[in-house]
Amino acid sequence: MDQIERYRQIIRKMIEDYSVFRPAKGDVEIETIFDEGNDHYELIYSGWNGPYRIHGSVLHIDIRNGKVWIQYDGTEDGIAEELVEAGIPREHIVLAFKPPSIRPHTEYAVA
């Protein structure tokens, strides 16, 4: 199995694992989006909490040029360390939600 396919499997598994956690309030649907053709992976909540609309990403991860780009991370503890523990090297993980000027000061890839 090549590296990119292994990264895809790790990301899919993590998103599936997070998709079992339901929000404490509201009538919310949990959607997993796996676009392997474009290497976009996302976990989305959509629905209602009383009169308030719920819609948005919980996790959004892309694979670009052989690196895993965390576009959005709405998890409590952060998913980057989980990706490292699953076998993706830090130098292959980009914290895309951080400004480019900050990325060199993280323990992860710049781009």
- For residues 109 and 93, the answer to whether their CB atoms sit within 8 Å is yes
In this predicted structure, the answer to whether residue 67 has a pLDDT above a threshold of 90 is: yes
**Cα–Cα dist 94/12, whole Å:** 17
pTM of the model: 0.92
CA 84 – CA 91 distance, rounded (Å): 10
Quick one: pLDDT at residue 9? 97
Are 6 and 87 spatial neighbours (Cβ–Cβ below 8 Å)?
Answer: yes
pLDDT of residue 62: 98
How far, in whole angstroms, is CA 9 from its chain's centroid?
A: 13
Residue 60, classified by CB atoms within 10 Å of its CB into exposed (0-12), middle (13-18) or buried (19+), is buried
pLDDT at 21 over 80: yes
Mean pLDDT of the chain: 95
* CB contact at 8 A, 59 and 42: yes
Query: Mean pLDDT across the stretch 8-20?
Result: 97
pLDDT band at 66 (very low <50, low <70, confident <90, very high): very high
Query: Residue 73 pLDDT > 90, yes or no?
Result: yes
Report, as an integer, the average pLDDT of 4-32.
Answer: 94
Report whether pLDDT(48) > 80.
yes
